[in-house]
Amino acid sequence: MAELVFFSGTMDSGKSTLALQMDHNHRARGRRGLIFSKLDRGGEDRLSSRLGLSTAAHEVHDDLDFWDTVVGHATSGQRIDYLICDEAQFYSAEQVEQLARIVDEMGVDVFAFGITADFRTQLFPGSRRLIELADKVQVLQVEALCWCGRRATHNARVVNGAMVVEGEQVVVGDTAPGSEDLVEYEVLCRRHFMRRMNSAAARAASSSPDVLPFDLDLCPVPKA
């Protein structure tokens, strides 16, 4: 039976790489599918991985209706066995419900990939609805690492080198320096997220005689 599966993890946990691999595996077995993504780092109409792999994809705009799109492909004679939906945290709750309907009424597998929580540790609307509706929620096994070496569990937004916890939920990071405000993202362990200690702040503290009021070694690299 078809399923709606949500693969979740922090940044750098291999979500897009897995999405590309799953599409390859299904196509290698003769199945046919559609790939969707939104605000991908590689630009519009792309699904790309930080490893350098990429493929063409359908861009998920706010007004895209998954049901109408898939039905349109099916009625034009195209067989659709599965959907790959990357950056699903940016989808609306209504779009996630459309994906669930496709699974239930058309028997099409939907594999969604996304970040669960934003830089404020609040659930994205798309991720929240996926958790509520998915047949399975799977946390990726590839562990992203904080600068201290511990498992990273939180996504931090960094503006001009300093971590911030206020602002719009969706802001795409700049890919080239030189803008007025350089927005980047970094994964941190909970301890350093709560202390607002991103890697730049850690480097500054370690070279300063007045180290922040906690020992930087409180988060040692786990021993093998």
Residues acting as catalytic residues:
87
- For helices 66-75 and 93-106, angle between their N-to-C axes, nearest 10 degrees: 40
3-state DSSP of 66-122:
HHHHHHHHHHCCCCCCEEEECCHHHCCHHHHHHHHHHHHHHCCEEEEEECCECCCCC
* Neighbour-count burial for 178-194, b at 16+ CB within 10 Å, e otherwise: eeeeeebbbbbbebbbe
Quick one: how far is CA 210 from the chain centroid? Answer: 37
CA dihedral 49, 55, 58, 61 (to 10 degrees): 30
- For 116-185, give the DSSP string: SB-TTS-B-HHHHHHHHH-SEEEE-SSPPB-TTSSBP-EEEEEETTEEE--S-S--PPPSSTTSSS-EEE
